[in-house]
C-alpha cells in the first residue's frame, strides 16, 4: 500500500522534506490548492484532476512508494508571483496541479494531471 502524507504550506513542506526518508521507495509529490470548507480545492483544475490521480495512484504506484499531498495555500497566496513554491529550485511551480517525482525529472503539470495514460506512465516509470 502506498504511504500517503499531507503537508500544508511552504515552511511545513521544507521541514517535512528535510527530515523525510523514503527508505528507498519512490517519492511522488502532488502540489494542489488549499481545500475550502466543502472539502474541495479552490483550484478547479485540481478538483478535476483529483479522481484521475487517485485512480492511477491506487492502480499503478508501487506499494513501497510515498505520495505527498502538498497544499500550496489559498488562491491569493498561490497567485503571488513571489510564492516560495514558484521560486524553490526543487519545486519550480508555475501551475497547479503539478506532480513531481522528488529529485528526478518525472513531472506532470496542469491538464496532464487529468490524463489517465500519462498518470499510469508516471507511476509505473522507474527512476
Residues assigned a catalytic role: 43, 46
> Where in 14-121 does DSSP place strands (E)?
27-32, 66-71, 98-101, 107-109
Cell triple for residue 28? 511522488
- Give the span between the Cα atoms of 63 and 26, in whole angstroms: 9
Listed in sequence order, the residues at least 6 apart from 79 whose beta carbon sits closer than 8 Å to its beta carbon are none
- Give the span between the Cα atoms of 30 and 97, in whole angstroms: 7
Of 78, 60, 36, 70, residue with least CA distance to 117: 60
- Give the span between the Cα atoms of 65 and 27, in whole angstroms: 6
Amino acid at each position: 500500500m502506498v504511504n500517503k502524507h499531507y503537508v500544508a504550506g511552504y515552511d511545513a513542506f521544507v521541514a517535512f522534506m528535510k527530515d523525510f526518508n523514503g527508505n528507498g521507495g519512490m517519492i511522488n509529490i502532488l502540489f494542489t490548492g488549499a481545500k475550502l470548507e466543502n472539502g474541495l480545492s479552490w483550484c478547479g483544475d485540481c478538483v478535476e484532476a483529483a479522481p484521475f490521480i487517485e485512480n492511477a495512484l491506487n492502480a499503478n504506484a508501487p506499494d513501497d512508494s510515498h505520495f505527498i499531498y502538498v497544499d500550496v495555500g489559498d488562491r491569493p497566496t498561490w497567485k503571488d508571483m513571489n510564492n516560495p513554491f514558484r521560486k524553490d529550485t526543487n519545486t519550480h511551480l508555475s501551475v497547479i496541479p503539478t506532480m513531481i517525482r522528488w529529485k528526478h525529472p518525472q513531472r506532470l503539470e496542469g491538464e496532464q494531471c487529468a490524463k489517465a495514460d500519462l498518470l499510469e506512465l508516471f507511476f509505473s516509470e522507474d527512476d
